[in-house]
Amino acid sequence: MDYSELALKTLNLIFLYSIYTKVCYLRILATSDFHGDAEAFRKTALKAKLHHIDVVVVCGDITHFGSLQQSKELLSPLLTIQCPVLFVPGNCDPPTLTEEKIETIESIHGKCKQVGNVNFLGVGGSSPSPFDTPFELTETEIAHILEQGFNSCQSKRQIVLVSHSPPKNTKVDIAFTGEHAGSISVRKFIEITNPTLVLCGHIHEATGTDKINNSTIVNPGPARHGHYALININAHKKIKLNNL
């Protein structure tokens, strides 16, 4: 083999590697449960820039029983990030937030959004609670929204589920009472479709990670208390729970 042939093969390998890393590597900053804390949104934008994030995910409770206009104002610092921001509303948010798209900030409730080769699909709100919050859904409604989002995905590989409610009977859905307060429908969806990653929130005291089959579940904890998660998706999943 002469040097020109070796050089050409090396260049081809470098080119293929660059394509592989671009397609298969994604850096996610996951947050949830801001509950109207504007400073937490500003800090999230700064962290996203610092860590060169590819996509920011907000798992709901942007407001604390706030209006659609307040939701937009709170999200606005994230417009300064040079990457997509995907969100679902939480049970404390107005249901009309499900249809919002503000430039690079987009609701994925009942939808699927592709970033690189990763498909993000979302479901907002929560299953019924004793508190009669603004955006609650029956388990049947949650299952229908998940099916709708899944069917709209261009590819059924490399799926990231974004849900305000955590899946039922996991480490990340245990309320302070000791009750498992997650969604049965979210759990069933994970068991059937086996997404690569599940990002959730809702249960503030259940910050952490868990697994259902091969799916990794992450509850980054409430952003209003300074919590977020950094996740690298490549050949493996690397997860780091941090403070803003």
DSSP assignment of 76-140: GGGGGSSS-EEE---TTS-GGGGG-EETTEEE-BT-EEEETTEEEEEE-SBS--TT--SSB--HH
Q: Is 7 a member of any domain?
A: no
Q: Is 2 a member of any domain?
A: no
Q: Is 13 a member of any domain?
A: no
Q: Is 9 a member of any domain?
A: no
Distance, CA of 20 to CA of 153 (rounded, Å): 21
**pTM of whole model > 0.85?**
yes
Mean predicted lDDT score pLDDT of the chain: 91
The answer on pLDDT for 237 being more than 90 is no
Q: Is 212 a member of any domain?
A: yes
Per-residue model confidence (pLDDT) at position 24? 55
Each residue's pLDDT tens digit, 15-68: 444 444 444 589 999 999 999 999 999 999 999 999 999 999 999 999 999 999
Read off the CATH number of the domain in which 32 is found: 3.60.21.10
Q: Is 141 a member of any domain?
A: yes
Q: Work out the pLDDT band at 6, boundaries 50, 70, 90.
A: very low
Q: Is 226 a member of any domain?
A: yes
Place of tokens 């490399």: 158
**β-bridge pairing 55-58 and 101-102:** unpaired
What separation, in Å, do the N-terminal and C-terminal C-alpha atoms of the chain show? 54
Range of the domain at 238: 26-243
Contacts of 34 (CB under 8 A, 6+ apart): 40, 41, 58, 61, 62, 63, 74, 222, 223, 224
Phi and psi at residue 209, to the nearest 5° = -135, 160
Contact 214, 193 (CB under 8 A): no
Per-residue model confidence (pLDDT) at position 235? 66
Q: Which of 230, 209, 205, 229 is nearest to 218 (CA)?
A: 209
Q: Is 20 a member of any domain?
A: no
Distance, CA of 48 to CA of 27 (rounded, Å): 10
CA distances, 149 to each of 59, 110, 113, 233, 242 (Å): 16, 4, 9, 21, 29
Place of tokens 């809702």: 202
Q: Name the domain count of the chain.
A: 1
Each residue's pLDDT tens digit, 138-165: 999 999 999 999 999 988 889 999 999 9
